[in-house]
Amino acid sequence: MGWGYTPYNSAGIPALSTYKEVKAHYEQVIPIRGRTPECRPLGRNRRYTEFKIRKNRISVEGGVDNPLGTFAETYSYSYYSDNDIEFFPDDTIKVHSASWHSPSVLQFFTYSLAKIGTIDSVRGKWYFVNKMGKNFLMDNGLVLVKEGDVYVAENAVKEKRYKANRKELNAIRKKYKVFIDYGSTMLGMSPYVDRLEVAEASHGLTFKDTSLLPFMDWQNKKPDIENRRKLFLALDEFNESGDLTLLYELATYVACSGGNYAYSSQRIECSPEKFKRFFTEVLKHEYRDQVFTAEEQEVGTMFHDDNKKYFSQDRT
């Protein structure tokens, strides 16, 4: 069951649904030599030691008669990280949010929860589907409780779908029409551009790099947000001053950011069509609150929203 290449449960992960079943399974498993007895192999095939079952001791809030509370034992399934799926004495099941959406993690959840439901993926967004066919988003974790013979999410999330307002987007495009037309004409004459320290000498602007759209940034510095703000401040300055030197430098900067490196010419290439498409994406990210409206969806509706990417970044 490694990395999605095996279409079957080679680790032998059991499909259990109740606290009593999980506890009985834990008690019959022999611990791995040299490890703590509380952590044991989950599957029948002990070679797959990354799949574990663990006994936990947790505090439970007490009532009026026992204000100090008490302790209870839970059992959890783990795949590399701790407590991915946790079983409680009242048969509540907590499914924690997966830190990495990979085929092998999806298989792990699928086989572990097979007795109470299935896992469906909609272009990478995971849903738990119970035995009655009702869907619950898994992205932020789930608390599953029994309603009769089926499990439902106690903390079901109402999702939002973002709908684009084309009239508003066209109005914003119109504001920057001179810039779009200038860049398209410039690149129509020659699609090749050179990297510039944009407007540093004549206008005092310094951009961190050429990024204007979000990219995987391990340090979470989000340079594209700061760069976009500087770009649109400079474009507003051009709209007031009509400075053609500034216009040329900003068009070159956007072309550098949206273009691709051509090995044949050893320069950056950006066609007029690519320039316009790229700048429209930049506009959508910068003016997302004006361009998009959020519409609440019914719980249980599985969908993929292409426009959600514009709201994936926190701008604080």
Q: How far apart are alpha carbons 116 and 11 in whole angstroms?
A: 19
Could you give the percent of the chain with pLDDT greater than 90?
A: 52
CA Rg value for the chain: 27
Quickly list H helices, 63-221.
103-112, 166-175, 177-189, 200-203
Q: What pLDDT, on the 0 to 100 scale, is given for residue 2?
A: 39
Q: What pLDDT, on the 0 to 100 scale, is given for residue 180?
A: 98
Of 132-146, 271-285, 286-300, give the range with the top mean pLDDT.
271-285
Task: Provide the pLDDT confidence category of residue 4 given band limits of 50, 70 and 90.
Answer: very low
Task: Provide the pLDDT confidence category of residue 6 given band limits of 50, 70 and 90.
Answer: very low
pLDDT, tens digit, 9 for 90 and up, residues 257-266:
999 988 888 8
Strand-pairing partners, residue 147, are 150
Q: Is the pLDDT of residue 295 over 70?
A: yes
pLDDT, tens digit, 9 for 90 and up, residues 40-57:
999 989 888 889 999 998
Q: Is the pLDDT of residue 19 over 90?
A: yes
